[in-house]
């Protein structure tokens, strides 16, 4: 076998810990590397390719490294080059590789390539009849994409969608009929959509032996990063590429599975040992990205959540840093301005803006941050997201605004009212569309405030200038603004998390336990992007449509804030999250005895002054809340632990509000795990019945 590397194999093991070395040098295949965020999974994946090339165990020209975004694929290629691989290793997304292979096959067999469908929503709209037309095409597109990712045919859609708890815009059967029509028409017109690239490549590999043999020869060694987000269609394709050869290495983290809503199946990672009994699973337990404080708070978030499985707690290796801060701001504008100020404060002499990123849950939250950065004169870049102006609903709204002969302010008022109507049963995509339109309405208000008379054309010009025109050049130094999803796999020294409110984190349409757990993992992904500092903010009110809506702090921040408070007190935050009081500090041996240094920005997360009551509490519940607090003080004193270790204020307030009568009802209160109920349940129920009876 020809090797092209001149790098000494041993040099490729430098800067790796024992478990990482084992993962790089293991001769077992298939190999699964399972580890938390920042543990070096991507580093190990690239080192393993380079190491095996250096030892002559593989020819890098026959390696296929798969990831989920083009950016990540570019990153892999760059890292491999820096490791001395002069030959080009193929690194790409499932789609890019499948499409390239199909194009080769079509060319070799003189098959006229089908056309790529570029406007899916428009295509679907053309298929709708009667009452279906009142539903936007994009809502059906989400369902069709989900079904294709799960390899669900139209006739099987109703049952599969019901089982998965999908909420199609119309009945399951009617949605299936539209899906069937979509497939028929698409075939008749010889069109393929994005997902068909994978499906057709998979089908051709199974039916065309020559094609399969040539592709399997070309890519003899398969590597997959972020495996927890593989969907069944991608997995089937991976298996078709692999054939009966064992050379596969996958890396993943079940706690970072954030694409189940879109058809990904984290079970594929969980079931790896059963599917490959001869394979090996290696775990990495040290974290190299985040400070002990950030890591401890993020780990507590996972462990504190009920129903989230966590495979061993990571240890931090980085030096101490600031305890994550949580700031409450009066509204979204104040929040955006505060983030811009904080970004400037953290921009020391000689530092790069690109050391910092602001992460948000939805695309619609980005424009206000862009405006704030611009006013503060901070160069910014928006990454990964489809720009707001390119969203289909925004294009439609803008073209309607330009066509209407009514005064611009009236048209915006009506648009705001239509955005205001929230449908409890709306789909994910419908909610996203509403949020995007709402962002447009808020920007229209800004424009109306500065222009007399405001016009649709004037707004359009202002929008284009405001949202994109003065972004710095794509490679210049800039702070990055992006969504939690787009931040997957990336890292920055300083990370700002904005809009940590109920409705965003977790997102309002996460109504099932599964969707809710995915939101919690998504917050974990976002929090673990930070290396040195993590600054969390939320706004007490936000303008939606015509209304200013009061907002509540994200419930996920409860366990998180408790963890931060525990860190300040030098207690293991994981133990607090579990309702136990193990006395050691989790992060590293280096920090066990030393109290972490808070750099001025202390967590204020949810702590109430004595005598004050949480806003959520009615005056009639104050007596019970006081009684619960008195009980907690006693309990804490007798156990010699800080009060919040027994129960935090938020949980006590919830108990006072809900007044549970039985242990089961008590268990339903957020923050009450089984351990707490078995330990304190009897006492709490007695206090509740005593106060209610008096
Ligand atoms: P994620 O789950 O977020 O994708 P990951 O497990 O892929 O994270 P990497 O991105 O590979 O983690 O590594 C996180 C950071 O730690 C990177 O900056 C990497 O270079 C660094 N790193 C990894 N292992 C080591 C090590 N042994 N020594 C020093 N730095 C390391
Ligand atoms: Mg990674």
pLDDT 10s digits, 124-182: 988 998 888 888 787 898 899 999 999 999 999 999 999 988 889 899 999 999 999 99
CATH superfamily of 293-384+471-568: P-loop containing nucleotide triphosphate hydrolases (3.40.50.300)
Identify the band that residue 598 occupies on the pLDDT scale cut at 50, 70 and 90: very low
Q: Cα of 76 to ligand 2 centre, how many Å?
A: 10
C-alpha pair distances (Å), 13 with each of 24, 45, 174, 227, 318: 8, 12, 57, 24, 20
Q: Are 36 and 252 in contact (CB under 8 A)?
A: no
- Directed axis angle between helix 456-464 and helix 428-450, to 10°? 100
Which residue puts its alpha carbon closest to atom 19 of ligand 1? 40
Please give the number of the atom of ligand 1 that sits closest to the Cα of 39. 6
Rounded CA-CA distance 618/146 in Å is 43
Nearby residues of 130 by Cβ (< 8 Å), 6 or more positions away: none
Rounded CA-CA distance 54/58 in Å is 8
Topology match between the domains 9-103+197-284 and 293-384+471-568: yes
Q: Cα of 286 to ligand 1 centre, how many Å?
A: 9
Which residue puts its alpha carbon closest to atom 18 of ligand 1? 289
* Residue 209 predicted with pLDDT over 70: yes
Q: Are 310 and 283 in contact (CB under 8 A)?
A: no
Query: Any idea which ligand is nearest the CA of 490?
Result: 1
* Residue 384 predicted with pLDDT over 90: no
Q: Give the pLDDT confidence score for residue 665 in this predicted structure.
A: 84
Higher pLDDT, 413 or 264: 264
Identify the band that residue 233 occupies on the pLDDT scale cut at 50, 70 and 90: very high
pLDDT in tens, 609-629: 334 677 667 888 888 998 998
* Residue 538 predicted with pLDDT over 90: yes
Residue 602: both structure tokens together = 């202390």
Tell me the residue length of the chain.
694
Q: Cα of 42 to ligand 2 centre, how many Å?
A: 4
Q: Are 529 and 491 in contact (CB under 8 A)?
A: yes
Please give the number of the atom of ligand 1 that sits closest to the Cα of 20. 27
Query: Any idea which ligand is nearest the CA of 283?
Result: 1
Rounded CA-CA distance 14/629 in Å is 54
C-alpha pair distances (Å), 589 with each of 200, 299, 610: 52, 16, 35
Nearby residues of 324 by Cβ (< 8 Å), 6 or more positions away: 293, 294, 297, 527, 530, 533, 534, 535, 536, 560, 564, 603
Number of CB atoms found within 10 A of residue 549's CB? 12
* Residue 588 predicted with pLDDT over 60: no
DSSP, res 541: E
Please give the number of the atom of ligand 1 that sits closest to the Cα of 528. 3
Q: Cα of 239 to ligand 1 centre, how many Å?
A: 28
Which residue puts its alpha carbon closest to atom 24 of ligand 1? 40
Q: Are 372 and 498 in contact (CB under 8 A)?
A: no
Which residue puts its alpha carbon closest to atom 11 of ligand 1? 40
Identify the band that residue 500 occupies on the pLDDT scale cut at 50, 70 and 90: very high
Q: Are 357 and 482 in contact (CB under 8 A)?
A: yes
Q: Cα of 413 to ligand 2 centre, how many Å?
A: 45
- Directed axis angle between helix 674-693 and helix 622-639, to 10°? 130
Please give the number of the atom of ligand 1 that sits closest to the Cα of 44. 11
Residue 519: both structure tokens together = 């939101």
Q: Give the pLDDT confidence score for residue 612 in this predicted structure.
A: 63
Q: Are 649 and 614 in contact (CB under 8 A)?
A: yes
Q: Coil, strand or helix: which one is 544?
A: strand
Q: What is the chain's mean pLDDT, rounded?
A: 83
Rounded CA-CA distance 644/626 in Å is 15
Which residue puts its alpha carbon closest to atom 30 of ligand 1? 288
DSSP string, 625-646: HHHHHHHHHHHHHHHTS-HHHH
Q: Give the pLDDT confidence score for residue 652 in this predicted structure.
A: 86
* Residue 77 predicted with pLDDT over 50: yes
Identify the band that residue 32 occupies on the pLDDT scale cut at 50, 70 and 90: very high
Domain range summary for the chain, segments of one domain joined by +: 9-103+197-284, 115-189, 293-384+471-568, 610-693
Residue entry with tokens 């999974």: 41
Rounded CA-CA distance 115/133 in Å is 26
Q: Give the pLDDT confidence score for residue 210 in this predicted structure.
A: 94
As a CATH number, domain 9-103+197-284 is: 3.40.50.300
* Residue 645 predicted with pLDDT over 70: no
**In testing the pocket of ligand 1, which one of 13, 15, 40, 50 has its CB within 8 Å of the most ligand atoms?**
40
Q: Cα of 685 to ligand 1 centre, how many Å?
A: 47
Query: Any idea which ligand is nearest the CA of 524?
Result: 1
Q: Are 607 and 565 in contact (CB under 8 A)?
A: yes
Q: Coil, strand or helix: which one is 253?
A: coil
Q: Cα of 42 to ligand 1 centre, how many Å?
A: 7
231 CB-side CA count, 13 A = 23
Dihedral sign computed on CA atoms, order 202, 68, 150, 130: negative
Q: Are 527 and 497 in contact (CB under 8 A)?
A: yes
Choosing among 1.10.150.80, 3.50.50.60, 2.102.10.10, 3.40.50.720, the CATH entry for 610-693 is 1.10.150.80
182-185 — which CB contacts under 8 Å span 24+ positions? 182/123, 182/124, 182/127, 182/140, 182/144, 183/154, 185/123, 185/127
DSSP, res 548: E
Which residues form ligand 1's pocket by a CB distance below 6 Å? 15-17, 20, 35, 37-43, 253, 256, 288-289, 489, 491
Higher pLDDT, 597 or 496: 496
pLDDT in tens, 279-330: 999 999 899 999 988 998 888 778 654 333 434 567 889 988 899 999 999 9
Which residue puts its alpha carbon closest to atom 16 of ligand 1? 288
**In testing the pocket of ligand 1, which one of 42, 47, 227, 530 has its CB within 8 Å of the most ligand atoms?**
42
**In degrees to the nearest 10, what's the CA dihedral of 324, 507, 157, 173?**
180
Which residue puts its alpha carbon closest to atom 13 of ligand 1? 40
Q: Cα of 536 to ligand 1 centre, how many Å?
A: 23
Rounded CA-CA distance 130/424 in Å is 24
* Residue 6 predicted with pLDDT over 60: no
Rounded CA-CA distance 192/202 in Å is 14
Please give the number of the atom of ligand 1 that sits closest to the Cα of 43. 11
pLDDT (average), residues 547-556: 91
């Amino acid at each position: 076998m020809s090797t092209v590397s001149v790098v000494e194999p041993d040099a490729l093991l430098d800067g790796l810990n024992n478990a990482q070395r084992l993962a790089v040098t293991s001769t077992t295949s298939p190999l699964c590397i399972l580890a938390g965020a920042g543990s070096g999974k991507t580093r190990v994946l690239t080192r393993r390719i380079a190491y095996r090339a250096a030892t002559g165990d593989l020819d890098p020209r026959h390696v296929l490294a798969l990831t989920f975004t083009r950016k990540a694929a570019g990153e892999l290629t760059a890292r491999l080059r820096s490791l001395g691989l002069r030959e080009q290793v193929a690194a790409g997304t499932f789609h890019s590789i499948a499409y390239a292979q199909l194009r080769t096959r079509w060319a070799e067999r003189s098959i006229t390539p089908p056309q790529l469908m570029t406007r899916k929503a428009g295509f679907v709209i053309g298929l709708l009849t009667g009452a279906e037309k009142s539903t936007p095409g994009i809502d059906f597109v989400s369902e069709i994409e989900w079904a294709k990712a799960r390899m669900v045919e139209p006739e099987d859609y109703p049952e599969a969608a019901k089982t998965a708890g999908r909420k199609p815009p119309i009945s399951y059967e009617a949605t299936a009929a539209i899906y069937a029509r979509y497939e028929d028409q698409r075939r008749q017109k010889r069109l393929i959509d994005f997902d068909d690239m994978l499906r057709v490549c998979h089908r051709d590999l199974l039916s065309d032996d020559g094609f399969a043999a040539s592709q399997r020869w070309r890519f003899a060694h398969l590597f997959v990063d972020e495996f927890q987000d593989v969907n069944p269609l991608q997995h089937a394709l991976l298996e078709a590429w692999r054939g009966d050869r064992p050379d596969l290495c996958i890396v993943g983290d079940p706690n970072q599975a954030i694409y189940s809503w879109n058809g990904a199946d984290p079970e594929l990672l969980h079931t790896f040992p059963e599917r490959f009994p001869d394979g090996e699973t290696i775990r990495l337990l040290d974290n190299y990205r985040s400070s002990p404080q950030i890591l401890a708070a993020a780990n507590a978030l996972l462990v504190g959540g009920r129903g989230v499985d966590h495979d061993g707690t990571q240890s931090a290796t980085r030096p101490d840093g600031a305890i994550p801060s949580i700031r409450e701001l009066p509204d979204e504008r104040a929040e955006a301005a505060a983030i811009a100020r904080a970004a400037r404060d953290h921009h020391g002499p000689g530092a790069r803006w690109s050391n910092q990123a602001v992460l948000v849950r939805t695309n619609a939250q980005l424009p206000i941050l862009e405006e704030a950065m611009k006013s503060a004169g901070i160069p910014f870049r928006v990454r990964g997201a489809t720009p707001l102006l390119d969203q289909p609903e925004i294009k439609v709204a803008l073209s309607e605004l330009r066509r209407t002969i009514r005064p611009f302010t009236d048209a915006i008022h009506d648009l705001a009212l239509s955005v205001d109507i929230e449908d409890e049963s709306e789909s994910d995509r419908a909610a996203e569309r509403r949020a995007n339109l709402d962002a447009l309405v808020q920007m229209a208000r800004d424009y109306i405030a500065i222009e007399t008379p405001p016009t649709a054309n004037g707004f359009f010009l202002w929008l284009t200038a405001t949202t994109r025109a003065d972004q710095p050049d794509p490679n210049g130094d800039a702070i990055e603004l992006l969504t939690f999803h787009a931040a997957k796999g990336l890292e920055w020294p300083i990370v700002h998390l904005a809009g940590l409110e109920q409705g965003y984190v977790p997102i309002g349409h996460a109504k099932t336990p599964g969707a809710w757990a995915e939101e919690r993992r998504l917050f974990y992904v976002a929090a673990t992007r930070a290396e040195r500092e993590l600054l969390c903010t939320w706004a007490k009110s936000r303008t939606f449509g015509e209304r200013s809506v009061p907002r509540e702090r994200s419930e996920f921040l409860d366990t998180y804030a408790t963890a931060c408070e525990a860190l300040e007190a030098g207690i293991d935050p994981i133990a607090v999250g579990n309702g136990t009081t193990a006395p050691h500090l989790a992060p590293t041996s280096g920090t066990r005895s030393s109290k972490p240094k808070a750099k001025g920005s202390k967590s204020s997360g949810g702590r109430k002054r004595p005598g004050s009551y949480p806003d959520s509490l009615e005056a009639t519940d104050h007596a019970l809340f006081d009684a619960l607090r008195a009980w907690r003080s006693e309990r804490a004193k007798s156990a010699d632990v800080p009060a919040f270790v027994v129960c935090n204020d938020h949980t006590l307030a919830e108990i006072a509000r809900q007044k549970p009568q039985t242990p089961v009802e008590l268990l339903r209160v957020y923050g009450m795990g089984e351990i707490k109920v078995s330990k304190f349940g009897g006492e709490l129920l007695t206090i509740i019945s005593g106060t209610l009876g008096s």
